[in-house]
Structure 1
Amino acid sequence: MVLKPENITNNQDYTTIAEIGIKDKGLSISCTLEEVIRTAQKEASSLGANAIIVKKIKSPDAWSTCYRILADAVYLRDVQKYQSLIIWDKERKLVVADFKADTANRPFEAATYSGFNIIPVAGTLKELPKLIVETSFDSNRSYLKQRGNVSFVLKHEQLHFDLSEIYARKFVERMRNASLTVKNVSERGNEIFKQIQIEMQNMNDLYDTEVYADTTLQTRWDNKIKIMLSETVPFEDKSISIRR
């Protein structure tokens, strides 16, 4: 998890393990802010931390073409308290506490805000540039009213999250088949992304329409989405290489 000092509401909520500084190592090419933070996350994880608190960010300047950060690798006692984005994982199912948005004046029993992000990774002398696709659930925008059959509603919302992962994989599949180069990746990527977003929204709408009208159809959708996840397993590693 990546946090800022102002995100911490109580200093007793964590233990600092180490201070991490990610700097320009000379002739660095892969050093965008996203990549530098990822490097810090990996280093913190190897130390037994489950979060980093980014204290300082230095943008590229006359001294370096890289982003540089200073962060504390920490162990949070209650990860869920601070978790705002949940990355999709087949072993990690949504729980009630993941829905943190206010439920006042909300029209439905629950709403899941999930989708996928595309993170560019610059190439090196030995490696091609690539895109990393991540499926995430936004806790701060998702809500669930704790009344009635909560377990049923929770399961229903989990499948919306699963659909986001399925269409992220479909995006990866189409991108890999698009003969991407540095010159055409933006144009082709945008076209594929827009089409996938339309298909994903249509599938989510169909899911809600059918189950809202007849809750007994939930089991049919459970099986349908389980099959879709199985069919897209070849694209579970959501990385896309780009030719120069």
Structure 2
Amino acid sequence: MNNSDIVAYAHCGWEYSAVVSSEKLTPVIIKIEAIFIEDKSWKDDKKISDYSLLHEQKHFDIAEIFARKLRREVSEKIISSADYIESFYKIYNKITKEYNNFQSLYDQDTKNGTNKAKQKEYNSIIINELELLKDYK
């Protein structure tokens, strides 16, 4: 497959905000959201199909999975501003690396959605992961 076979691209990921105090024992507030950036995403209207759009939707679902994983780790390990300063970026970088690897593997294994059997497998994996992490919506 070459790049001319790609009919769409979904630019997604997550963003976060944090309220951190200089008082190290003060609780920290962290908000993490999966995002879809429309103006950096695209589709070829002449080649796109509902099936291709489903593949791209799964990219956003993967972003949501990893946003939930990040929320889970943050909720378990970061309570105070001191925790944030000491650990947040280590956790963030680890989850980001896992996310990027998963997104790449997803496209590679599904051949950008053209391998229907693999796409079906990933659809199940993604649905299951979202369900397992539902407490971190």
Q: Which residue of 2 aligns with 1:110?
A: 8
Structure 1-normalised TM-score?
0.49
Q: Which residue of 1 aligns with 2:126?
A: 225
Aligned CA distance change for structure 1 residues 152 and 177 (closer, same or farther; 3 Å): same
* Structure number with bigger Rg: 1
Runs (4+) off by over 6 Å: none
What are the equivalent positions in structure 2 for 1:92-241 lying under 5 Å apart? 108-121=6-19, 128-212=27-111, 214-236=115-137
Q: CA deviation at 1:150?
A: 1.4
Cα distance in 1 for residues equivalent to 2:32 and 2:120: 29
Amino acid at match of 1:207: Y
Amino acid at match of 1:217: K
Cα distance in 2 for residues equivalent to 1:106 and 1:116: 28
Aligned residues: 129
Unaligned runs of 5+ in 2: none
- Report the aligned-residue RMSD: 2.2
Cα distance in 2 for residues equivalent to 1:118 and 1:154: 26
| Higher relative contact order structure (alpha carbons within 8 Å, sequence separation ≥ 6) | 2
Aligned CA distance change for structure 1 residues 107 and 141 (closer, same or farther; 3 Å): farther
